[in-house]
Structure 1
């Protein structure tokens, strides 16, 4: 009687019990339908299972069994499963993007779609502006920068510094500033502000808003929000770390990439480089031009090959190029440059060696005078106007392996239209062809260069690169570098008319 106070002898059944029990009784005693199934429902705040017993006179006796604890346990289990599934989806979504802005927007959208009515992601403040990403449920995140003071919002300044969040009941929703509330949101009922933990330093803060017509945040919800914030902060911190490393890599890459070559004091230079892995931009092959500072002086061209591939080889490449830059005052003395460079490499922690070829090029009386010194590198090739290919007779020892190095220097003259090709063994040792395992070889390279007689230096590089790419197809290969030093053909500029561009003729 205490459970159903309206139930007493003579009282109509339908008026004294909950509707769910009335419906179950009607289904159990109906003429056409007999239902033997478990029914349950609420009586006040308690949950009961109703079990029918048919008496001899055909009446039904209902036994009510309290299953409130079971119901709460089932609901808690369902809630935990839903939350676990959400955290898995959130982790996958957030970690799939290493772009800071996209990751920030994803955090706001996930929170607004699954947790609250609106979410605001606050990044660590810049000089004077506070970066925000605001998302209303069902909408897209909107980024902005606001000139506001985090200290104006209770708990926000502390969250941005990584301190534990304050309970939502301590935050007065009526004091929420306009920048924090999305347009057309309505009255704010409750607010949660929690830090986004990062790797070593806070990644920002997360502000969650619930409308006034919704229940306030429970303690269990706030605990779950902190779990989500931990994953979101880790993803955002990883995106920022990637952005910083990418920026650093780009900065270093600019110094490690081969330079763009052009004509220097009457001498044409052109170069081409292909790393061993197409997704990389640097490797162990390199070339450089150190232009002459005055008319009549020689420009120094250097092409080399560091033992190994990838980033480690590129680091040593950068060191060699830096040392050569420091040795520019003695560019005329190739032997001394090689000795000093060899000593510097022996004193480093790198257990690698390098081969190199140097060429000093100067314009003299219409031709180009070359002084070529080889340090354990494939011989330079000179292509004459008639297509004849000659090997420059210079030999030497590789650098960075032995205490002393020895080499010889050869002098070559290039008439107008002739050129000298410096290359790395990645070209001649490229494997491919019809069978897929045949070397490109020295003879094919000589033939390819001979076909380029009298061609501009840039065209020579492009021709060789095209042939080697076709030979390799999609097969693996080593780093490949090629530099062409050419004596320009004599030209004069003729104008066609007063409006069109002039053209060069031989």
Structure 2
């Protein structure tokens, strides 16, 4: 251990250290501890900040997870080391075990050699005369672990002012660790939701061209309440659904996951769009503010080489069809919101797409994108239809990407709602031999 040659480490100076210096230390510690929500960086900061003012060596022992516990150690010369020990090792260091579990909140001063059972958390060459102070790291009333401060024999032992300063520091450090741990858990949950709710890649199906775009709202942790799914049918063509659930963020994502899982399960049976909507409506009834807009259906190659698209809807924006002559038609689908009424009204519509014609499904994140020259104007249904009319001949994927691009440009960097786009397109007319170059 080092520190015996530092004047501020002498017993008299340490016992009578001016209160403003200690207050400044706590103030600086509060700023440093709150500078990051990354649990690993916060852990390293907790161990490093107490050196050399309070100790020559610091070890943070985290709560037990499973059958092991993690520790991080900071020592002289900016040395740091991390590791894990079996949960049983804590039983060989009962003061640390009590602090980690929250059983004993009082600080404890003891010979450092009593902590040898922590299997490497303390260095093996520790001076036999070193002294340790064990302090609970309390965060929001729950233990965030234990802080072990170690002084070599050349330094004075821990006195009441040191213990009180360590206790105040541990309270701040414990809260910082608890906050970082909570944030890490939320980040992990968000990542899992994002991975599970992100649309699956579009299938490759003969006779059907597909395109899609998907941009969750940033303010909702990039967890979207918009969703779509396309699956190849065992006979021919594809089945699909496209919707937007009520709400934002994680709550909406959970509902979107429920809706998608239900519809995918129904697709394994002899699926029929209106029947599926009625069954989903029954499932969602009785849950306050749990409803969705939805378009579901199928697209199959027609005898003339086009597509026959069957759709059923529940309160969603009407799909748009781009015809070969540049006309844009709305597909009228009567239907109430899914999950609101015990006796809903759903209808079924059949559309025919000739060679190259397409159907565009979109969420209100497109038409209600607020921006433009004033920054407050909606993109709107009419502007979308006028723009779509100029895209005849573009493949499905390019149309979907162009809708997302124009919406993003219209927003001009402003916050936006979830954006989802799905395009179903009939294959282009085969080239005649005399047309070939």
* Short-chain TM bin: 0.7 to 0.9
TM-score by length of 2: 0.82
Larger radius of gyration: 1
Give SS of 1:157's match.
Answer: helix
1:174 shift after superposition? 8.8
Q: C-alpha separation between the residues in 2 aligned to 1:146 and 1:341?
A: 50
The aligned counterpart of 2:153 is 212
Q: C-alpha separation between the residues in 2 aligned to 1:130 and 1:427?
A: 49
CA change 1:190–1:376 in 2 (3 A) is closer
Find 1:349's aligned residue among 271, 288, 293: 288
Contact 1:360/1:370 (CA < 8 Å) preserved in 2?
yes
Find 1:256's aligned residue among 197, 203, 207: 197
5+ long unaligned stretches in structure 1: 1-70, 493-504
The aligned counterpart of 1:300 is 239
The aligned counterpart of 1:363 is 301
Contact 1:135/1:182 (CA < 8 Å) preserved in 2?
no
The aligned counterpart of 2:4 is none
CA change 1:431–1:212 in 2 (3 A) is closer
Q: C-alpha separation between the residues in 2 aligned to 1:154 and 1:318?
A: 46
5+ long unaligned stretches in structure 2: 1-11
Structure 1 position 473 matched with structure 2 position 423: no
Q: C-alpha separation between the residues in 1 aligned to 2:386 and 2:206?
A: 30
Matches for 1:50-449 after TM superposition, within 5 Å: 79-125=18-64, 130-145=69-84, 149-153=89-93, 155-164=95-104, 167-168=108-109, 170-171=110-111, 173=113, 176=116, 179-182=120-123, 188-199=129-140, 201-264=142-205, 266-278=207-219, 280-292=221-233, 294-296=234-236, 298-329=237-268, 332-350=271-289, 353-365=291-303, 366-449=305-388
1:326 shift after superposition? 3.5
1:190 shift after superposition? 1.9
CA change 1:324–1:145 in 2 (3 A) is same
Contact 1:342/1:400 (CA < 8 Å) preserved in 2?
yes
Give SS of 1:144's match.
Answer: strand
Q: C-alpha separation between the residues in 2 aligned to 1:175 and 1:309?
A: 50
1:463 shift after superposition? 0.7
Give SS of 1:236's match.
Answer: helix
1:332 shift after superposition? 4.2
Give SS of 1:460's match.
Answer: helix
CA change 1:380–1:161 in 2 (3 A) is closer
Q: C-alpha separation between the residues in 2 aligned to 1:200 and 1:265?
A: 61
Q: C-alpha separation between the residues in 2 aligned to 1:342 and 1:130?
A: 47
Give SS of 2:58's match.
Answer: strand
Contact 1:338/1:405 (CA < 8 Å) preserved in 2?
no
Q: C-alpha separation between the residues in 2 aligned to 1:187 and 1:490?
A: 87
* Cα RMSD for the two superposed structures: 3.4
Is 400-409 or 478-487 further displaced after alignment?
400-409
1:484 shift after superposition? 0.5
TM-score by length of 1: 0.72
1:421 shift after superposition? 0.6
1:185 shift after superposition? 7.0
